[in-house]
Structure 1
Amino acid sequence: MRLGIMIFKFAHLLPKSARLGALVGIAALALAGCASTEADDFADFVDDTRPPAVMFNEALATMERGDYRAAAEQFDELEQVHPYSEYAKRSLVLGAFSHFSSGRYPEAVNAGRRYVTLHPSGEDAAYAQFIVAQSYYNQIPDVNRDQEQTARAINAFRDLIRRYPDSEYVGPAQEQIRFANDQLAGSEMRVGRYYLDRRNYVASINRFRVVIEEYQTTRHVEEALHRVVENYMSMGVVDEAQTAAAVLGHNFPDSEWYQRSYRLLQSGGLEPQENSGSWISRAFAGFTGQGS
C-alpha cells in the first residue's frame, strides 16, 4: 500500500487529466493488497458493520470519482468504527487530504494533527503536517485583514521543517514561509502608512521597524527604510533619517526607494550618513541581501 499512498500524496500536484489515472491506480493497488486479508477482515465483522477493507476501498472509489467531501466522511467513519485497524491509520492521512481538497480546512487540520499525534514517526507524518500547514496557508487573507491564519501557517511549516528536516516537503514549506512572511510584512506596512498619513510618527516608525528587523528578506523592506526616512525627517531627527537612507543605499543602491530618500535628504541640505550605533544599522549588521 506504500506505493499507492505515495502516488496519492502527489496526485494533487498533477494536472486533472493525470490525477484521475493516478487515483485509479491507487484503487487497483488497494484492492490487490487487501485481497489476501479479506477473510481476516471479515472475521472482525460485527452486526451490520462493514469490514475495514471494504470501507477503505469504498472511500478510495469515492475519492477517485472526485467527490472529496464524501470520501473524507467515509475515511472519518472508518477511523471511528475501526480505530485500531491499519486502515484507520491510512484513513487519517487520506481523510486529511480529502478534507483539504474539498476546502474543509479546519477538518483537514484536525485530521492531519491527529495523524501526527498518533503516528509521529509514521511514513506519512511529514505529509500530514504539510496538509495542516497548507490548510492554514490557503486561508491567508489579504493584508487588510487579521493575519492570524498567516502566523499559524508559518508556525506549522516551521514545525514540519524542525520535525522532518529530511522530508520532501521542506523545500515547499520554506517557499510558503517566504510568501507568508511577505504577507505579514505587508500588513505592518499598511498600518505604518496609516499612521504616517495621520502624522503619528512614533506609531508609524514602530510598524516599519518590525519590517526592518523581522522581515528583511521580503520585498517590503526597501519601502520600510524609506518610510523611516520620511518619519524622522518630519520629526526633525535628521541623524536617524540619514542613517536609514545610508543603510538603504548600501543594501539596495538601485532601488527607487533609495532615490526618493536621497532626494528627500537633499531637499533639506543633507546627505546619507550612517550612524553605526543606530538601531537601523544594528538591524542590518550581517545582512547579505534579499536572496539570503
Structure 2
Amino acid sequence: MKINRCIAPLMISVILSVAGCSSSSKEDQVMNANLGAQALYDKARESMANGNFAAAADSLSALDSRFPFGPLSHQVQLDLVYSYYKSGKIDQTLATIDRFIRLNPNHADVDYAFYMRGLTNMEADNNLFQELVGIDTTDRDPSKSKQAFDDFRRLIQQYPDSKYAADARQRMVFIKNRLASYEISIARFYMRREAFIAAANRGRYVLEYYPDSDQLQQALEIMVECYDQLELTELRDNAMKTLKLNFPDSQFIS
C-alpha cells in the first residue's frame, strides 16, 4: 500500500510523539520509584502549582501506594482527589473520595471530601460538547445530578458550619432547577404523544418535590392542559386556581 507523501511525514511525527510520551511516562515512573516520601510530595505539589494535574496525580498515586500510613497520607489523598478531579478522571476521583471518607470519617477535612464528591458528580453530569453547540440537555438522565444533590445535602446536614456549605446550597438550587427541567421535558414528551395522564403526573411531581424551582409555572400549565384534555374538571380547576394565585400573567389564564 502506498502512503501519500504529504501524509507520511505527519504519520511519522505522530508515531514519534506517541513513542516519546510513552518513554517519558516510563521515565517518570522510574524517577518516582527512586524518590522519598517528602521529595515525591514536593514534586507533586510543584506539578499542581504549574497546572499539570495529570503529572501530580501520578506522583501522588505513587506516594499513596508506597507510603499509605505516612505523616503525609491524609493530605496526599486529598490532593489526589483534587488532581484527579482537575484531570477529568471522574471514576478515580469518586473512588479516592469514597476511600477517604470510609477510612477517615472523623477527619477535620471530611467536609471537603463530601463537597468534592458533589462537584465531581456535577461534572459527570455535564456534557461540554452539547453545551458548546447549544443543544438542550434537560432530557438527559439526571442520576448524577441527583447524586450530587444528595452529596451537598449530606454536607450541609452533617457540617452546617463548613466553609463549603454556602456554595453547596447555591449548587443545590441549580441542581433542583435542573431536575425540575428534566421532569418538564419528559412531561412535554408525553404530551406530544397524548399520554396526558403521564404528563400530568410529571407536572404534579414538580409541584410536590420542586415547588421552589423555576419550573413551577410550566408544571402548573401542563397540569391545567392535561386535566382539561382528560376532562377532569375538578383537578383542572384546582391547578388553575394555584396557577392564578402564583402566576397571574400566565397565558393559560383566560
TM range (shorter): 0.7 to 0.9
Distance 2:158 2:36 in 1: 34
Task: Determine the structure 1 residue equivalent to 2:109.
Answer: 124
Distance 2:63 2:158 in 1: 28
Match of 1:160 among 155, 160, 174: 155
- Scaled by the length of structure 1, the TM-score of the pair is 0.69
Distance 2:98 2:159 in 1: 14
Distance 1:60 1:262 in 2: 61
Asked if 1:87 is matched to 2:78, the reply is no
Distance 2:35 2:163 in 1: 36
Match of 1:189 among 173, 179, 184: 184
Task: Determine the structure 1 residue equivalent to 2:81.
Answer: 96
Asked if 1:139 is matched to 2:124, the reply is yes
Distance 2:159 2:95 in 1: 19
What CA deviation, in whole Å up to 9, does each residue of 1:73-120 have, x standing for no partner?
A: 211111110011021111100110111111112212222222222222
Task: Determine the structure 1 residue equivalent to 2:40.
Answer: 55
Asked if 1:230 is matched to 2:225, the reply is yes
What CA deviation, in whole Å up to 9, does each residue of 1:146-170 have, x standing for no partner?
A: 1111111111111211222210111
Asked if 1:113 is matched to 2:98, the reply is yes
Which moves more between the two structures, 136-145 or 218-227? Answer: 136-145
List alignment gaps of at least 5 residues for structure 2.
1-32, 127-136
Task: Determine the structure 2 residue equivalent to 1:178.
Answer: 173
Contact 1:79/1:89, CA 8 A, preserved across alignment:
no
List alignment gaps of at least 5 residues for structure 1.
1-47, 264-292
Contact 1:106/1:135, CA 8 A, preserved across alignment:
no
What CA deviation, in whole Å up to 9, does each residue of 1:46-86 have, x standing for no partner?
A: xx653211111111111111100110121111111001102
Corresponding letter in the other structure for 1:133: G
- Scaled by the length of structure 2, the TM-score of the pair is 0.79
Distance 1:135 1:116 in 2: 15
What CA deviation, in whole Å up to 9, does each residue of 1:210-248 have, x standing for no partner?
A: 111101111111111011111111111122111111111
Distance 2:89 2:233 in 1: 53
Distance 2:175 2:244 in 1: 26
Percent identical: 25
Task: Determine the structure 2 residue equivalent to 1:262.
Answer: 253
Contact 1:215/1:221, CA 8 A, preserved across alignment:
yes
Task: Determine the structure 2 residue equivalent to 1:286.
Answer: none
Task: Determine the structure 1 residue equivalent to 2:59.
Answer: 74
Which moves more between the two structures, 244-253 or 78-87? Answer: 244-253
CA RMSD, Structure 1 to Structure 2 (Å): 1.4
Corresponding letter in the other structure for 2:202: R
Distance 1:62 1:199 in 2: 57
Corresponding letter in the other structure for 1:187: Y
Residues 175, 138 of structure 1: CA spacing in aligned structure 2 closer, same or farther, 3 A cutoff?
Answer: same
